[in-house]
Amino acid sequence: MTKQNSIRVDEQQGILRLDTANTTYVMGISNGLYLGHLYYGAKIPADDLSYRTALTTPMSPENIKKDFCVYMDSTDFEYPGWGIGDSREGAIKVRDALGSTRTNLIYKGYRISSSKALIPGLPATFASESDPEDVSTLEVDLQDPDTGLLVTLFYSAFWAEDIIARHVEVRNEGKNELVLERVLSASVDMRETDRQGKDLRLMTFYGIWAREFTKEIREIGHGRTGVSSIIGKTNNRAQPFLGLVSQDITQVSGEVYGLNFLYSGNFASMVEKNPNGGLRVSVGIHPEEFSWHLAPGEVFYAPEVVMTYSCCGLGKMSRNFHDLYRKHLIRGSYKDRKRPILINNWEATYFDFDTEKLLAIAKKAKECGIEMLVMDDGWFGKRNDPDSSLGDWWVNEEKLTGGLARLGRELEDMGMKFGIWFEPEMVSPDSELYRTHPDWAIAVPGREPSRSRNQLVLDVSREEVRDHIFNSMYKVLTSTKISYVKWDMNRHLTDLYSAGLPDCRQGELLHRFVLGVYDLQQRLLTAFPDLLLENCSSGGARFDPGMLYFSPQIWTSDDTDAYERIRIQEGAQMLYPLSCLGAHVSVCPNHVTGRVVPFKTRGHIALSGTFGYELDITKLSEEEHEMIRQQTAMYHKYNDLIRTGDFYRMASFRENGFFDCYGVVSKDKSEMLLTFIHVMNQPCMPTRWISIQGLDPDKLYAVEQVDDSTIGPSEQVTDATRKVCQAHGATLAHAGLIVPCRYGDFQSVLYRISEVKE
């Protein structure tokens, strides 16, 4: 099996099979009619798996006829229908002209292609230009003979990344309109235990504002459980990710199945444990508040789910997702490029700024090696607090004398790039836009809509609303040279009603809203192909792989406290590449927590994200300015490695309560940057022992300390303290590295581990 024949179909046996470098996924036709699920897990040889169809269909054809409901309820299906005997979670439910929701999908045929389809209007993984053979696609058609509904399941195997990407297209080939009431993107019927026979556990990530990405592992009881969002966007309360893990899962051992959803709206990522054995995993648009009218000939596209399996721990799952997103999802001119080091004025000034203040920040920032000023909220309309002006995207000349043109010009003269904040999907009731177009806000006619942060949501499902937003942004972005946009989104969707939809189609609003957001971001990127877009939503409340298709980076959290960031970034790094995690150094005491962490440590922690600053640099000491110079130099030295390398977590402060350690290794294994954070000091604990993962066991490496938070600018690292040892990768993995503990809390140190040619 090679990547050239990663999809094979045995028509005689009715077996359809996908392989990646280390995994296998197999389906089979059950009872001559239904598409059954046979296997997903570690790579297995190309044996005849038809004996497994007997397992998914443990009944003779005569008995199936007599007791069809038992057959339906005990078979492993690939994309279960509705109302025909399967009492587990259905993947699709369609109401027909009779008013019935019976949805009976019969296997019809398949196609194989050596490419990867894009999905109209939605984010999707794609084949890389440099290695188009890395992905092949299997399309399987299922049809309901009674309604004419044709469902095509797409399975793309990304060979090197061990990823199966799935999405669904639903076409009405019947004569009557159909109403889709649920169209999930993936369903997987699988065993409930790992290979040791122990029950798999559910791994998810929960959070809240400023506390995003908290990993949780729980037992799976009988019935349905999981994570979801019903607020119209993805949510800081739950990532759309769902993992099934062995009880003894670690970074380097144990089994894990991980599924993530490329979508930025309501979702349900659920697992159901069945009394007759097995788990059913289902991921898709949340069926609550969803319905879609499909006229004859029309097609509905359900968003993509990406799945991976690792039998060697969580670290491999993370690296599979990181590689997939970096190579096959993130696009645009910054896909593989270093991002400018930015300074954002939000925590420096909040709403209280003017041109002079911004230029003073920019001037000092430039002197310290920072490359771009980002002007955050408060530059437009008459906005001096969160109570007004969203939607009025013209500059407030009382604050910014000379307008954006002057600010842009002076920044350019200084050699600084310029970035700007928008919250395009929103409108303040106190705004010119709302006074002119009150019906453009999402609200139920005649009822007072709920405000949040004193703002309402614009109905971007409507084309005229999108046109207006795009034109307003276009005007701003062409008024001076702007290199970056921070696209914010600070509330839930409530009071659901669109003046642009007939009453019977109100259930389409939330999905049309998400499609509208994607359309707007795509229009922006098409008009400004060199623009660096950073998505944000009250911190990380819309941090999902769907948004990564449009912006190569997303603001991870409004909590910039480096100590909190250790935990938040650990969660985020488990699912997303470091290159996309918005991370800034901010001032202490931290504005969210009041905590004080050494400046160097703040720098080290932000370095494993996009890197930037969020403070009033004009108020810092000369010593801190000097540290910024060192940090910006370090960013230039190590960002290529951090952005493109393989991530290995070697210790978790979340788990051990004292220290954190992770490293990024170059793809050729010639170099690693290791970050050790001694978070909490502990008496009588002079050293910590770290097994260094990810190096080539046979290569010889030099380990040197390159930056230490206990050493200030006046206390230079000497050759004696810098050079730690020379050892082979195998020695560093097994005998490990000894890291001296630091005096005080929140101390950190960076090590560079580089290959020595023997």
Residue type, 293: H
Among positions 377, 570, 646, 671, the unique one binding ligand DGJ when judged by CB under 6 A: 377
Q: How far apart are CA 10 and CA 28, in angstroms?
A: 9
In the complex, the smallest distance separating the C-beta of residue 163 from ligand DGJ, rounded to whole angstroms, is 30
Q: Among residues 247 and 349, whose Cβ is nearest to ligand DGJ?
A: 349
Give 143-146 contacts, CB < 8 A, sequence gap 24+.
143/105, 143/106, 143/108, 143/173, 144/81, 144/94, 144/103, 144/104, 144/105, 144/106, 145/104, 145/106, 146/96, 146/102, 146/104
Kindly identify the residues of this chain, within the stretch 641-680, that bind ligand DGJ according to CB under 6 A.
Answer: none
End-to-end CA distance of the chain: 36
In the complex, the smallest distance separating the C-beta of residue 470 from ligand DGJ, rounded to whole angstroms, is 21
Give, for 229, the enclosing helix (H) or strand (E). strand 223-229
Q: Which residue is nearest to ligand DGJ (CB)?
A: 377
Point out which span in 245-253, 498-506, 536-544, 693-701 binds ligand DGJ (CB under 6 A). 536-544
Q: Residue 244's beta-bridge partner residues? A: 202, 257
Q: Among residues 348 and 404, whose Cβ is nearest to ligand DGJ?
A: 348
Exactly one of 558, 559, 646, 660 is catalytic; name it. 558
Point out which span in 68-76, 83-91, 535-543, 742-750 binds ligand DGJ (CB under 6 A). 535-543
**Unique residue bearing structure tokens 């990406």:** 306
Exactly one of 189, 392, 488, 544 is catalytic; name it. 488
Q: Among residues 423 and 570, whose Cβ is nearest to ligand DGJ?
A: 423
Kindly identify the residues of this chain, within the stretch 428-457, that bind ligand DGJ according to CB under 6 A.
Answer: none
Point out which span in 32-40, 227-235, 280-288, 532-540 binds ligand DGJ (CB under 6 A). 532-540
Site for ligand DGJ contains 40 (CB under 6 A): no
Q: How far apart are CA 416 and CA 366, in angstroms?
A: 7
Size of the site for ligand DGJ (CB under 6 A): 11
Helices (H), 528-561: 545-548
Beta strands in 290-414 (DSSP E): 292-294, 299-310, 342-344, 372-375
Q: Among residues 425 and 488, whose Cβ is nearest to ligand DGJ?
A: 488
In the complex, the smallest distance separating the C-beta of residue 481 from ligand DGJ, rounded to whole angstroms, is 22
Say how many C-beta atoms besides its own lie within 10 A of residue 46's C-beta. Answer: 12
Q: DSSP code of 62?
A: H
Q: Among residues 213 and 555, whose Cβ is nearest to ligand DGJ?
A: 555
Among positions 265, 539, 645, 694, the unique one binding ligand DGJ when judged by CB under 6 A: 539
In the complex, the smallest distance separating the C-beta of residue 541 from ligand DGJ, rounded to whole angstroms, is 8
In the complex, the smallest distance separating the C-beta of residue 344 from ligand DGJ, rounded to whole angstroms, is 7
Point out which span in 84-92, 303-311, 533-541, 600-608 binds ligand DGJ (CB under 6 A). 533-541
Q: Among residues 30 and 560, whose Cβ is nearest to ligand DGJ?
A: 560
Q: Among residues 212 and 646, whose Cβ is nearest to ligand DGJ?
A: 212
In the complex, the smallest distance separating the C-beta of residue 614 from ligand DGJ, rounded to whole angstroms, is 8
Give, for 142, the enclosing helix (H) or strand (E). strand 135-143
Point out which span in 156-164, 464-472, 534-542, 565-573 binds ligand DGJ (CB under 6 A). 534-542
Nearest partner of 22 among 38, 4, 10, 6, judged by Cα: 6
In the complex, the smallest distance separating the C-beta of residue 536 from ligand DGJ, rounded to whole angstroms, is 5
Tokens for 23? 């995994």
In the complex, the smallest distance separating the C-beta of residue 352 from ligand DGJ, rounded to whole angstroms, is 13
Q: Among residues 31 and 389, whose Cβ is nearest to ligand DGJ?
A: 389
Between 469 and 508, how does the x/- string for binding to ligand DGJ read (CB under 6 A)? Answer: -------------------x-x------------------
In the complex, the smallest distance separating the C-beta of residue 644 from ligand DGJ, rounded to whole angstroms, is 27
Nearest partner of 378 among 406, 415, 346, 410, judged by Cα: 346
Query: Does the annotation mark 559 as catalytic?
Result: no
Q: Among residues 113 and 384, whose Cβ is nearest to ligand DGJ?
A: 384
- All residues at 6 or more sequence positions from 45 whose CB lies less than 8 Å from its CB, including other chains: none
Q: Residue 535's beta-bridge partner residues? A: 487, 554
Q: Residue 455's beta-bridge partner residues? A: 452
Characterise 621 by phi-psi region: left (phi > 0), alpha (psi -120 to 50), beta (else): beta
Q: How far apart are CA 395 and CA 387, in angstroms?
A: 17
State whether residue 52 is helix, strand or coil: helix
Q: How far apart are CA 271 and CA 247, in angstroms?
A: 17
In the complex, the smallest distance separating the C-beta of residue 419 from ligand DGJ, rounded to whole angstroms, is 12
Sheet holding 214-219, edge to edge: 106-113, 135-143, 149-158, 163-172, 299-310, 256-261, 242-245, 201-206, 214-219
In the complex, the smallest distance separating the C-beta of residue 520 from ligand DGJ, rounded to whole angstroms, is 18
Q: Among residues 585 and 727, whose Cβ is nearest to ligand DGJ?
A: 585
Between 552 and 591, how does the x/- string for binding to ligand DGJ read (CB under 6 A)? Answer: ---x--x---------------------------------
Site for ligand DGJ contains 346 (CB under 6 A): yes
Kindly identify the residues of this chain, within the stretch 385-424, that bind ligand DGJ according to CB under 6 A.
Answer: 421
Site for ligand DGJ contains 536 (CB under 6 A): yes
Compute the Cα dihedral for 184, 186, 192, 193 and give only its sign: negative
Nearest partner of 186 among 22, 20, 302, judged by Cα: 302
In the complex, the smallest distance separating the C-beta of residue 381 from ligand DGJ, rounded to whole angstroms, is 13
- All residues at 6 or more sequence positions from 211 whose CB lies less than 8 Å from its CB, including other chains: 236, 557, 559, 564, 568
Residue type, 203: M
Preceding amide of 438 cis, omega within 30: no
Query: Does the annotation mark 488 as catalytic?
Result: yes
Annotate 307-343 with b (16+ C-beta within 10 A) or e (fewer): bbbbbbbbbbbbbbbbbbbbbbbbebebeeebbbbbb
Compute the Cα dihedral for 235, 236, 241, 244 and give only its sign: negative
Q: Among residues 19 and 534, whose Cβ is nearest to ligand DGJ?
A: 534
In the complex, the smallest distance separating the C-beta of residue 335 from ligand DGJ, rounded to whole angstroms, is 24
Q: Among residues 93 and 211, whose Cβ is nearest to ligand DGJ?
A: 211
Q: Among residues 556 and 705, whose Cβ is nearest to ligand DGJ?
A: 556
Tokens for 728? 């082979």
Residue type, 405: A
Among positions 19, 272, 371, 376, the unique one binding ligand DGJ when judged by CB under 6 A: 376
Using only C-alpha atoms, what is the Rg of the chain? 27
Nearest partner of 24 among 36, 10, 4, 38, judged by Cα: 38
Binding site for ligand DGJ (CB under 6 A): 346, 376-377, 421, 488, 490, 536, 538-539, 555, 558
Give the catalytic positions in this structure: 488, 558
